[in-house]
Structures are given as structure tokens and as C-alpha cells.
Structure 1
Amino acid sequence: MKLTSLRSLFASLVLPLVILMGLGLSTSALAADGQNSQQIANAKTSDADLWRAVKAGDSGYTVAQGSEAGVLINVVGNEGKNIKNEYLTPAMGVAVLGVFSAFLIFYFVNGPSKLTKGFSGKMVLRWSKADLIIHWVLAISCLGLIFTGINIMLGKHILQPYVGEGVWAALIYGSKTIHDYVGPLFIVSWILCVVKWMPLQTLKMYDLKWFLVVGGYINFGPFKGKHPDSGFANAGEKMWFWTLAIFGLFISVSGIMLVLPGLDLPREASMAALLIHGLSAIIIIAFTIVHIWMATVLSEGGMECMKSGYCDENWAVQHHNLWYDEIKENGTLEYKD
């Protein structure tokens, strides 16, 4: 066989095989490229879906234990934090500065409520020793919670920028520690206060008139010298009591929820407790400022009631006439020796 014939035969057999192999490799390469592109696209779509789910607060899988351990981002927690920063924190500032400033202005314009007939010198028993103890334990614990709570809520805005890191760390740690340990003392004294004094705080029709004439504390205009009827507790004191009773309950329950990690509450419940705690604190702070102003500076002779348990007879007649008439009639009027 000639060499030329062999070459022709080889070419006729091999060349088609080479062409087929080339086509096969090209098809495989194109298919591989297509598959890789699809995998990359799928991976990008998968990552996007993953992070979209994470931001939406969806729960994933984790070996960690605890409530909502599989949730990386809690939407409710973020929304609650925004509500606290945008609304509750400014509201607390208004409660502290606004209410205090308003009563300071009122004091300089109106002055205190003086006793019309002056001091009689006769002291009438108004509060028992047990009442005084309950009052001052409640008052001191409440003030402790207020000052530490204000630092926790507002300190980062009004103190932290002006003190060193070490000083601020000590202040915020001390505030948190005192707040946690004083809380139970407040709760116990609050319970005793509500149980013991509730019978004296029932609302009466004459309480409405007390509000209409601002309790007789106005020293000018048509309200000057108007001293409305009042029983053992006047309408303002009743309002303060029921505010403390209702929001004291809210602040106590929410506080327990916040300081006991063993409860393992869902994030939603914890955030709700934090917001309720903050709102209740704002209301109690505002009423506490009012109560302190009314009981001390604005009412001549009023502070003596909670110092000794006795009040001047003229003070009793002027501010709590119905109560004075009652104890005088039933024979329970008791003077200080």
C-alpha cells in the first residue's frame, strides 16, 4: 500500500474523531460555564434571601439554648429602642425640668398658702408611728429610684459628655446597682402603703370643688381665700395616691421582669416591660415633684405632719375641715402633750 493511501486513510478516520472530541469538549465547557454562572446567581440570591430574612427577624437554626436564640436581629427590640430614645427619654426630661420649673414659677408668682388664722400652737395627731415609717421608707426608696433612674435614662446625654470615661463608668454602674437593690424595698413599702391607706382615698363629690378652686392654694383673683371642703385626704392627695397605686404596680411588675434573667422572657415581652417601666417612671416622677412642692413649700405647716405625725389645729381646720369635724365629734381628736 502506498504511503499516500495510508495518510488518506488516517485522515479519513482520525480527523472526524478529533472534530467530534473538540465539539464535545466545547459543549462541556459551555455547559460548565453555564452551571457555574447559575451557581453564582443562586448563591447571590440565597445570600440576599438569607440577610433579608435576618433583617426581618426570622428565626434560624442554632445549637444555642434560650428563648429566641435563633433570631439574630429582633425587629421589635429595635423598634422599642427607637421609641425609648425618641419619645420616652425626652418625656423624662420634660417631666423633670418642665414640672419643676412650672412649680418654681408658680411659687414666685403666687407664694405659699398661708394659714389664715396663723399657727394655733395646738398640735393634733394625724399620722401614727407606723404611718410615718411606711411613708419615709417609701419616700426614700422612691427618691433613690428616681435619681438613679434619671441617670440611667438621661445621664448619657447630660453627664457622660462632660466627665471622664472612668467617672461615667462608675456613675452608671453605681446607678444600676442601687436601682436594682432599692427596688424590692420600694415594692414592699408600696404594698404596705396601698393596703393601709386605700380606705382613706375614696373619691367624694366635694373633691370636684377642690379641683375647681385649685385646693385653695391661689393667693390672687377670685380664688383667693377659697378653702374647699376636704376629708382626711384632699383631692390632690387622692390623685397622687391612685397614681402611685396604679403606676407603682406597673413599675414594680415590669421591674421584676427586667431584673430576673432566669425568667428567660421573649424579646417582645422584655421590650414591652422596658417601655412600660419607663412610661410609669415618667408619670411617677412628675407627680412626685408636684407632691413634694405641695407638701413642703406651698403649704405652710404641711411638712410638720410627716415629721412628727401631728399637725397644727388651724392647719387641720383650713385644709382638712371635714376630717377635723369628724374626729372632734366622735371623740378621737388627740392633742400632743
Structure 2
Amino acid sequence: MFSNALKPLALLAVMLFSGFALANGGEIAPQAGNEADVVWQAIQQGAEGRTTSLSEHHPQLINSYDLGLLDLRNNWLSYGMFAALFGMIAVFIAFIAINGISKLSNGFSGKMVFRWSKTDVFLHWLAAVPCLLLILTGLVLLSGKFLIEPVFGTSAFAGMAGVSKLVHDYMAIPFMLGWIIISIKWAKNQIPAKYDIDWFMVVGGYINFGPFKGKHPHAGFANAGEKLFFWAFVLFGLVISVSGVILLFPNLVEPSRSLSMLALIAHGLAAIVLCAFSIVHIFMATVMSEGGVDCMVSGYCDENWAIQHHDLWFDEIKANGELKYMDK
């Protein structure tokens, strides 16, 4: 261990040695001033050293050309994730306070119509529960250093980040499993149709004032909003899954430094978009639509709910003799 008197000399020796090692053939010209500035300038200019590693960019000490992407993550994505989660929640709270929820025009019928199988209900929660945990832990990992640590302190944030990283890594597997099965199994009911345009024109009939009040647009098994969320889930879930595999298994995928950074940025961007869509989906299913949450709890929906929100689907199963009620 160096004494205080020897520390400056040791530091100077290290800097001089590093300067010679990075010189790349002795091209670094001597400069006046602090030797550390000379070394750092050389590194920024791409000076290389020697190593036994055979990986990409092995002689380069820093990856200076990806610093812009790092700034994008820190200065924009970290706040974007926070805004996507809490911003959308705030918007919906304000909307419900002004507009109210979408009630059933004829009330509950008491007759429950079969809509989702037990397998479908299980698949929904297989993706939904990990998705929620990934959003919350992702918020800590992406935004925590800038938005949580200043409030709760370094020690508290370190503990939250450690738990979040563990949960995030393990929840990625069931999320990807649910994503791939749902994307394939449910796609047939999510094909866009002409009447979906009319659904958007009246905002799905959820507005309780003005010319939109009392409008109940036509919809099949899935309405236009559900279709939009499904395809957003498929597309951005793909980006999240592919980039997540690169980040989870770097030794298997063997990415370059740039690919790893691009995966990190793509992962964050896709997560922000899917987070915003997920908040909309959750509010529409649980709060905005009276009786809507029953579908993914029991697999059955009230008959009046089916007629009001998915009339074309209800007419189809009734005409085909596929209408099935829950046994009492």
C-alpha cells in the first residue's frame, strides 16, 4: 500500500506507461499540460493498446462512438418510461373524472355467455402478470438512477435495483412464452375489418357527451381498439423479446459492443410504447367498460355486454348455434 507521498509518483508512472501503451506506433505527440489529459485524448481519438483478447474491438479501451446512444438512454428513455406509465395513468384518471365510465345501456342481464376458454384465460395471465412486473422493474432499472435514487437515496435504490434485475430476468421467460403463443393463437380474430374505422370514428362508444353519446359501433369478436393493442403487443413484443435475448444471453448470442447498445435502446423504446398501450388496455378492460373484466376472470361475459360491445360476434355465434351460457 502506497504512502501519501508516493501516491502522486505512482499515478504519474501509471499515466506515462498508459500513454506509451496506447501510442499505437508512437504517433501521440507530446503535449503540454496534465499527462492524464494526453492519455484521455488519445483514448477518445481511438488509440489502441495490446491484449490477448480476440473479441471485437479488443484493443480499444472505450467505445466512444456509442456514447450518443448512451445519452439517448439516460436523457430520454429513462424519462420516457416514467411518462408512459404515470402519464397514461394520469390521463385516464382525468378522463374518467370528466367522462365517467361506459355503462351497460340495458344493465346486466344475469346471463353469462361463453367467450374465452380456460386455456385462453391462462395464456392471458401468463403474459399479463409478467408484463406488469416487467414494466415496474423496468421502470426501476431504466429510470431509477435519475428519478428514484435522488428521492430515496443510494442504498434504498441499490436494493430496489438488485431485486428488480432478478425479477426482470426471470419474468422475461414466461412473458416471451406467452407472447409467442398468443401471437399465433389469437391472430385469426384480430384481422382488421372495414367497420373498425367506424369504431374509431366514435371512439368505441366510450364518450358520454356530445355527438358521441350513446353510440355503440359494430364490432366482431375483437373491437378495433383490442385489435390495435394486439398488433402493438405482437410487434413491440417481438422487439422486446429479440433484444431481451441478446441482453440476457450475451455469451450465447455473442453480440458486439454496438449490437448490445442497440439492443438496449430498442428494448427501452419498445418497452415504453408497449407500456403505454398496456395502461390503456388495463383501464379499458377493468375500469372504463362495465362488466368487461369478467371475460378474463371466468371466460364468460354478460349477454348485454356482448350485445353492446361485440354485437357482430354475438349475432354470429347465435346464428351458428354456438351460443353457450354458463351453467347456474
The 5 A counterparts of 1:114-153 are: 114-153=103-142
Q: Which amino acid aligns with 1:323?
A: W
Contact residue 28 and residue 42 of structure 2 kept, 8 A = no
Give 1 or 2: higher helix fraction: 1
Call closer, same or farther: CA 1:323–1:161 in 2, change over 3 Å. same
Q: What residue is the counterpart of 1:174 in the other structure?
A: 163
Contact residue 95 and residue 285 of structure 1 kept, 8 A = yes
The 2-side partners of 1:256 and 1:173 are apart by 20
The 2-side partners of 1:184 and 1:268 are apart by 24
Q: After TM superposition, give the deviation of residue 81 of structure 1 in Å.
A: 0.7
The 2-side partners of 1:151 and 1:66 are apart by 31
2:319 is aligned with 1:333: no
Q: Which amino acid aligns with 1:169?
A: A
- Residues 280-299 of structure 1: per-residue CA shift (max 9 Å, x gap): 00001000000000001100
Please identify runs of 4+ aligned residues in structure 1 that moved more than 6 A: 47-50
**1:44 aligns to what SS in structure 2?**
coil
2:91 is aligned with 1:102: yes
The 2-side partners of 1:156 and 1:85 are apart by 9
Q: Which amino acid aligns with 1:241?
A: F
Call closer, same or farther: CA 1:253–1:111 in 2, change over 3 Å. same
**2:292 aligns to what SS in structure 1?**
coil
Q: After TM superposition, give the deviation of residue 164 of structure 1 in Å.
A: 4.7
The 5 A counterparts of 1:238-317 are: 238-262=227-251, 263-317=253-307
Select 1:44's aligned residue among 12, 27, 30.
Answer: 30
Call closer, same or farther: CA 1:239–1:58 in 2, change over 3 Å. farther
Q: After TM superposition, give the deviation of residue 242 of structure 1 in Å.
A: 0.2
Q: After TM superposition, give the deviation of residue 56 of structure 1 in Å.
A: 3.1
Identity of matched residues, %:
49
- Residues 102-123 of structure 1: per-residue CA shift (max 9 Å, x gap): 1110000000000000000110
The 2-side partners of 1:197 and 1:42 are apart by 62
- Residues 257-287 of structure 1: per-residue CA shift (max 9 Å, x gap): 0111213311111110000000000001000
Contact residue 78 and residue 146 of structure 2 kept, 8 A = no
> Mind listing any 5+ residue stretches in structure 1 that lack a counterpart?
1-39
Q: Which amino acid aligns with 1:333?
A: L
Task: Give TM-score scaled by structure 2 length.
Answer: 0.86
Contact residue 56 and residue 73 of structure 1 kept, 8 A = no
Q: What residue is the counterpart of 1:183 in the other structure?
A: 172
Q: Which amino acid aligns with 1:44?
A: P
The 2-side partners of 1:104 and 1:258 are apart by 35
Q: Which moved more, 1:47-56 or 1:65-74?
A: 47-56
Corresponding residue pairs, total: 297
The 1-side partners of 2:301 and 2:58 are apart by 59
Q: After TM superposition, give the deviation of residue 237 of structure 1 in Å.
A: 0.2
Q: After TM superposition, give the deviation of residue 154 of structure 1 in Å.
A: 1.6
CA RMSD of aligned residues (A): 2.0
- Residues 121-169 of structure 1: per-residue CA shift (max 9 Å, x gap): 1100000000000001110010110110001112223322233543322
The 5 A counterparts of 1:12-27 are: none
The 1-side partners of 2:28 and 2:112 are apart by 87
2:206 is aligned with 1:220: no
Q: What residue is the counterpart of 2:308 in the other structure?
A: 318
The 2-side partners of 1:328 and 1:292 are apart by 29
The 2-side partners of 1:292 and 1:74 are apart by 41
Call closer, same or farther: CA 1:126–1:106 in 2, change over 3 Å. same
Contact residue 66 and residue 264 of structure 1 kept, 8 A = no
Contact residue 114 and residue 325 of structure 2 kept, 8 A = yes
Contact residue 121 and residue 299 of structure 2 kept, 8 A = yes
Q: Which amino acid aligns with 2:170?
A: Y
Q: What residue is the counterpart of 2:185 in the other structure?
A: 196
The 2-side partners of 1:324 and 1:162 are apart by 51
Task: Give TM-score scaled by structure 1 length.
Answer: 0.84
**1:124 aligns to what SS in structure 2?**
strand
Contact residue 76 and residue 267 of structure 1 kept, 8 A = no
Call closer, same or farther: CA 1:43–1:225 in 2, change over 3 Å. closer
Higher gyration radius (CA): 1
Q: After TM superposition, give the deviation of residue 98 of structure 1 in Å.
A: 1.7
